């Protein structure tokens, strides 16, 4: 973690102002992207060092590939999962700070592009997972959802493709290329965007659609704070732009709203 005295003090006035905005907001939510996950040691999909650039071909993870070759898909999916999630992965101080903001009554939800499940693991109560979660699988026949870890073990033991008790194919409960976002989750996130007074866009390039439309729409009527190392398309419309480590910036914000 960076030294706060050198990295965060320069944002003190803006953090104080943002904290005041959150205190008076009727509705506020956080929109999180890969920058929150990479702080936990999870590699990004895109960009320098990204999974799609170095190890895997995204075409292997299309819904059409799953339907045409479920056994081959599951072998590649297990390899992808193991590359992305070493055993030591867990929530980081940015996740914890969002839990604190929710507990303080100033944050209504976390809307996330991430599939790692770390927001829920950290303790966030209302998490809208736009792209699903790697922690579950879903049956394509009966719709039953179950924990993914035991299914991964079955794949390691040679059961490819894994099936449900009903005989249906099991699929990772994530949005594959070629699939739409989960309708109800996306609609709930859009409703939040329409009513939000403050949105924190954290660790996201704000370029992946249609998810990126959520903070963009929220910015039209509310206060937008962007926390990201790299420039985003919404920086010129944001009320606050923080070029800072999310694991430093969010805890500094949470401390201002504690109690």
Known binding-site residues for Zn(2+) equal 139, 142, 164, 166
- Relative to beta strand 28-32, strand 198-202 is parallel
CB-side exposure of 190: number of CA atoms within 13 Å?
10
Annotated catalytic residue 131 = yes
Strand segments, DSSP code E, in the chain are 28-32, 109-112, 127-129, 132-139, 145-147, 170-174, 198-202, 223-227, 240-242
State the Cα–Cα distance between residues 33 and 215, nearest whole angstrom.
Answer: 12
Catalytic choice (81, 95, 119, 131):
131
State the Cα–Cα distance between residues 128 and 10, nearest whole angstrom.
Answer: 32
Separation of first and last alpha carbons in the chain? 24
Q: What does 50-72 look like in DSSP terms, one character per residue?
A: -HHHHT--GGGGBHHHHHH-HHH
State the Cα–Cα distance between residues 203 and 158, nearest whole angstrom.
Answer: 37
Binding-site residue ranges: 139, 142, 164, 166
Give catalytic residue positions: 131
């Amino acid at each position: 973690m960076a030294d706060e005295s050198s990295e965060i003090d320069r944002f003190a006035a803006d953090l104080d102002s943002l904290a005041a905005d959150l205190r008076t907001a009727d509705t506020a939510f956080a929109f999180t992207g890969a920058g929150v996950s990479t702080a936990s040691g999870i590699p990004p999909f895109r960009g320098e060092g990204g999974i799609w650039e170095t190890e895997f071909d995204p075409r292997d993870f299309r819904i059409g590939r799953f339907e045409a070759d479920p056994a081959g898909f599951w072998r590649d999916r297990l390899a992808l999962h193991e590359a992305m999630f070493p055993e030591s992965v867990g929530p980081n101080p940015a996740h914890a700070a969002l839990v604190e903001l929710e507990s303080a009554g100033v944050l209504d939800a976390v809307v996330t592009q991430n599939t790692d499940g770390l927001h829920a693991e950290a303790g966030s109560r209302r998490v809208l997972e736009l792209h699903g979660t790697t922690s579950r699988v879903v049956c394509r026949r009966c719709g039953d959802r179950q924990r993914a870890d035991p299914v991964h073990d079955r794949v390691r033991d040679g059961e490819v493709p894994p099936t449900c008790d009903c005989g249906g194919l099991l699929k990772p409960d994530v949005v594959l290329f070629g699939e739409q976002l989960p309708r109800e989750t996306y609609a709930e996130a859009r409703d939040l965007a329409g009513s939000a007074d403050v949105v924190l866009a954290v660790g996201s390039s704000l370029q992946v659609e249609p998810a990126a439309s959520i903070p963009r729409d929220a910015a039209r009527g509310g206060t937008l704070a962007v926390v990201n190392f790299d420039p985003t398309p919404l920086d010129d419309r944001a009320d606050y732009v923080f070029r800072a480590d999310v694991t430093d910036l969010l805890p500094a914000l949470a401390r201002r709203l504690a109690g």
